[in-house]
C-alpha cells in the first residue's frame, strides 16, 4: 500500500503544481467533503463547490504566471485504506511568495487496487507566513 500511495501522491502534487483541473478532478471522489477555516469563519462544502474553488485557484495561477509552492509536511496512515497528507501551499508571483499560506489536511482512500482518491479535506486558509515557522523550510 505504501508504494502505491507514494506514487499516487507524487502524481497528485505534480498535477496540483501544473494547475490541471481536468487531471485534478480525476483524483477526487464525487463524495468528497471538506471544511475550510479562514479568519475564523468556517465553511463546509462538497465536490461541486470544491471543483469551482480549484478552478478559480488554478485560473488565478495561470493568469498571473504564478507557481505553487507545495511542501509535504507529513503523511499519516489512518488505517489500512486511508492516508492523511498534511501539505502547506503558498503562491509565488513574480518570484515573491505571497504573505500567507494554506495548510491542507487531506485524506486519501484506496478505492480499488492501486486506485487512490481524495475523499476529505480540512483547510486552514490565510495563515501568515510568520506563523508557519519551519514548515516553509522543510523539503
The continuous run of DSSP H or E covering 139 comes out as none
Q: What is the mean pLDDT of the chain?
A: 92
Q: What is the mean pLDDT of residues 28-33?
A: 97
Q: How many CB atoms lie within 10 A of CB 48?
A: 10
In angstroms, the first-to-last Cα distance of the chain is: 23
pTM over the 0.85 mark: yes
Q: What is the pLDDT of residues 61-105, one digit of tens each?
A: 999 999 999 999 999 999 999 999 999 999 999 999 888 999 999
75: nearest Cα among 137, 4, 132: 4
Counted domains in the chain: 1
- The closest alpha carbon to 88, from 101, 107, 75, 74, belongs to 101
Domain containing 60 equals 2-137
As a whole number of angstroms, the distance between CA 72 and CA 85 comes to 7
- Find the CATH number of the domain harbouring 46: 3.10.450.50
pLDDT in tens, 95-133: 998 889 999 999 999 998 779 999 999 999 999 888 887
> Which stretches does DSSP call E strand in 1-139?
28-38, 41-46, 67-79, 82-93, 96-97, 100-112, 115-128
Taking alpha carbons only, the member of 7, 20, 38 closest to residue 108 is 7
Amino acid at each position: 500500500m505504501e508504494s502505491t500511495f507514494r506514487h499516487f501522491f507524487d502524481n497528485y502534487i505534480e498535477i496540483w503544481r501544473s494547475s490541471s483541473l481536468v487531471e485534478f478532478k480525476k483524483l477526487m471522489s464525487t463524495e468528497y467533503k471538506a471544511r475550510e477555516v479562514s479568519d475564523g469563519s468556517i465553511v463546509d462544502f462538497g465536490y461541486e463547490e470544491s471543483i469551482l474553488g480549484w478552478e478559480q485557484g488554478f485560473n488565478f495561477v495561470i493568469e498571473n504566471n504564478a507557481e505553487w509552492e507545495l511542501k509535504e509536511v507529513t503523511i499519516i496512515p489512518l488505517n489500512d485504506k486511508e492516508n492523511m497528507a498534511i501539505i502547506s501551499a503558498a503562491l509565488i508571483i513574480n518570484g515573491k511568495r505571497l504573505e500567507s499560506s494554506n495548510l491542507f489536511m487531506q485524506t486519501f482512500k484506496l478505492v480499488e487496487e492501486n486506485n487512490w482518491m481524495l475523499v476529505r479535506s480540512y483547510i486552514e486558509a490565510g495563515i501568515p507566513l510568520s506563523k508557519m515557522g519551519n514548515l516553509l523550510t522543510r523539503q
